[in-house]
Structure 1
């Protein structure tokens, strides 16, 4: 009986339901907005303007062609805006898009509808149709992101630097995955994909905290470039010779790189926790110098309280009527 292949290097989850790979991080440009397909349908619905233009007089020909061009351009810009919004939503720290593409796409769409509906003497009606089209565009696709996300206290220069370094690393990973396709081996492709997912965990850490760039610079540059060159050379050799020893050496290299990248990511996270502990300790010392003390008695009383009393729901009488123990202390 046929069984589905599963294992450490399988592109599918293991047979026991667990997945040994870290969660994949989408590459720039991979994120897709769920409304992106709508732009294609709107462009298709504007095709009658293009077809009917060739049965019009010269003025009508120009009007219908401009109408179709405006709607198609508006949908193209809207699609670009949706892709930018998807990339914005996929990241924890992101800047708002520099150009509000969906806003301009709505304006172009409304303008195209107004031009397509224009007839001499009915300018007001054409304008109403254009405004309605722009409004429906806004209701259908929503507004552009207008605020930066998670950028409070982040050095914008360092953030731009981190994005450039991550983009270079993504290019190296893409070259590795393209090169390994020449071998035609799905197991090797899955192993490279696993390493790419591990590397992208480090990318995410650097993007979220650009101060970690000095500690991860070699991993994002030299090591990834070396892994790319090794992958290209291995793919060329293995596609011709099918040498099992070369395959074993390459897989061992990927395992070592995967281990090193995962360890570096853990060290960066632990370093961030250490910095947080230091900040909390310094803040507590300052509060102590100001005479502020933690509410230890209340915490102690809560820990020593009867569990049955803690689980019992309190009533208004419990709040207004003193208990017997409190009366005796008084």
Structure 2
């Protein structure tokens, strides 16, 4: 009988990956929040000008506040795309330079505010706008402009890798959405482990793109099957009759198979053991078909 400690260590890599992913999401969600708070004195000034009957000042201050808030929203979109770009080893550069657009918006707004709101001269206002753009660029950086090709070799292209990774990420996010809707804490934790393990496989593909051909079918069966059973189970909770004992048993059995197959074959995938991997995939696929997933 295996020692309890070995069982506890079984999911250590997945747990670490989950914690890292959570930390990454927290950092991304917090970045740039200050940009929303800095313009609030302008809103107060606009309200005061409105009370005083100064229409021109109200429009300048209120318009500047709105422009700064829009720039902050654009910047946050850029931060999110950049974080995803940095997280991946192979990625396309963002098509739209949101951070650069936000920097320009902020700079122009500052220049106009200095000119119309604080009565600075045109040259001084332009210098303030330029200083604002430079300050934004130094604080937050500008958008990445080059694709990350990683260790691409002959026989596989950047587009193939990115297409496979993007498709896998869509399925993972769908599984995570279903996981949040599932009220059973044990099932929720197991699905969290599964998505974490899936991201580990994606990382190994990015580290060595030649693994894509071996991992493609594995990811398809693994993620498609998990997505369908997770979404189906989550929807069954909203039915009037709810889940049944048979449904819980079937769902539990499918999760067992998915976890076990993935854990056993992850090492074989890295070791180029194609035969054992294909056998295990075929076994899992047959079970998913019996459960009505495919």
The TM-score with structure 1 as length reference comes to 0.64
Does residue 189 (structure 1) correspond to residue 182 (structure 2)? The answer is no
Does the CA contact (< 8 Å) of 2:88 and 2:206 recur in 1? no
Shift of 1:234: 3.3
1:7 Cα deviation from its structure 2 partner: 10
Q: What residue in structure 2 maps to residue 127 of structure 1?
A: 126
Whole-angstrom CA distance in 2 between matches of 1:216 and 1:151: 18
Query: Would you say 1:115 and 2:112 are equivalent positions?
Result: yes
Spell out the pairing of 1:79-228 with structure 2 (5 A cutoff). 79-119=76-116, 122-149=121-148, 151=150, 153=152, 158-228=157-227
CA distance in 1: counterparts of 2:217 and 2:202, whole angstroms: 12
Post-superposition offset of 1:115:
0.8
How far 1:149 moved relative to its partner? 4.0
- Tell me, which stretches of 5 or more residues in structure 1 are unaligned? 1-5, 273-330
Higher helix share: 2
> C-alpha distance in 1, partners of 2:48/2:155?
51
> Are 1:37 and 2:33 counterparts?
yes
Cα RMSD of the aligned pairs, angstroms, is 3.7
Using the TM superposition, give the Cα deviation of residue 20 of structure 1 relative to its aligned residue in structure 2, in angstroms. Answer: 6.5
For the residue of structure 1 that corresponds to 2:272, the secondary structure is helix
CA contact 2:46–2:61 (8 Å) conserved in 1: yes
* 1:7-51 deviation per Cα after TM superposition (whole angstroms, max 9, x unaligned): 999xxxx6x9x8363523749x94743532222223435434654
Q: Call closer, same or farther: CA 1:253–1:82 in 2, change over 3 Å.
A: same
Moved over 6 A (4+): 6-9
Q: For the residues of structure 2 that align with 1:56 and 1:219, how far apart are their CA atoms?
A: 68
Cα separation, partners in 2 of 1:186 and 1:121, compared to 1, 3 Å: closer
Residue 267 of structure 1: how far off its partner (Å) = 2.9
Equivalent residues in 2 for 1:281-320 (5 A)? none
Q: Report deviation, 1:150.
A: 5.0
